[in-house]
Amino acid sequence: MFERYTERARRVIFFARYEASNYGSRHIETEHLLLGLLREDRELGKWFPGESDYQSKIRAEIERRITRGKPIATSVEVPISAECKKVLTLAAETSERFGHRQVETGHMLIAILGVEAWLAAQILTASGLKPGPIKDQIAKAPGPKYQSKARTGALLTLDSFLAGLKWLNAEELIHFFAKNAEFIDASGKRWNHREILKEFETIFAPYAKKNASYVVEATLAETCELFVANVLWKNAMLASEQRIWMHRMSVVLLPVTDDWEILLAQVTPVQFY
């Protein structure tokens, strides 16, 4: 479903998943998608004239109109609702209608406004947003310039994958890997693409923990044909145990059509105490 989505647009889905979990929702709804969109693309603020604090106001309005539940653990799958799927489909259709090769955040905003019966559209409309002016600006944008924004870099692809480990399942993350990709875990065991998909939760369990954090430590190679980076992972265990482990994950990415894929990822233990 997300093959034509740029990395920025995919990150909106990641953030929407987080928002749904935070509000204790069993489904990713249009209001979560809206919050994810505003979190990812600050440039959308230009459509809220005179509203410097529009994000806080929209969040407050959403919280006023929904019933907040107990936060859901990131390990629990939260599916996309039928209404939210409709928005994502409309975003793809909007992109095609404008002759754009990929689905960007602007297309998603137009799609949200296009379903007036649902909460996210109602809140945006109440804030003064209308789809017409947004459509006009995106449609008039020069093709090459707009599409160049859609072609995101390898670093963003890598960051999207790493962030996604917190709340996405194998089916939603496996597309980051090339078909001939390999993953070498901390014990030195090699996993091919099929094995990665089959044992995804086991392989990446340490990095999905709530207290695991990462930083892109260094970029070793960055050309139009190759991207190599080191990612440093740290997991602070239970306070009573007072143990910390650190892993260095070296990741190699290669370009594909308007995107990047992980060819190789190798984990090396740094310290454990």
b/e map 38-53, b = 16+ CB within 10 Å: bbbbeebeebbeeeee
pLDDT at 117: 85
**Edge-to-edge, what's the strand order for the sheet holding 227-236?**
190-192, 177-184, 259-272, 244-256, 227-236, 212-222
pLDDT at 271: 64
Phi, psi of 244 (to 5 degrees): -135, 135
212-222 vs 259-272, strand pairing mode: unpaired
Tell me where in the chain the CATH 3.10.450.50 domain(s) lie.
Answer: 154-272
Distance CA(191)–CA(48), nearest Å, equals: 48
Q: Hey, what amino acid is at 101? A: R
Structure tokens given for 227: 């991207």
Q: What angle do CA 116, 118, 119 make, to 5 degrees?
A: 115
Distance CA(85)–CA(160), nearest Å, equals: 20
DSSP designation for 259:
E
Tell me where in the chain the CATH 1.10.1780.10 domain(s) lie.
Answer: 7-150
* Homologous superfamily, domain 7-150: Clp, N-terminal domain (1.10.1780.10)
- pLDDT per residue, tens digit, the chain (273 aa), is 576 788 888 889 989 999 999 999 999 999 999 999 998 888 888 887 766 788 889 999 999 999 999 988 877 888 999 999 999 999 988 888 888 878 889 999 999 998 888 899 999 998 888 888 888 887 766 543 433 333 357 887 888 888 888 776 788 889 999 999 999 998 999 999 999 999 998 999 888 887 788 888 888 887 778 889 999 998 855 444 456 778 999 999 998 876 789 999 999 988 654
pLDDT at 256: 84
pLDDT at 151: 35
CATH code matching the domain that covers 154-272, chosen among 2.60.120.380, 3.60.20.10, 3.30.70.120, 3.10.450.50: 3.10.450.50
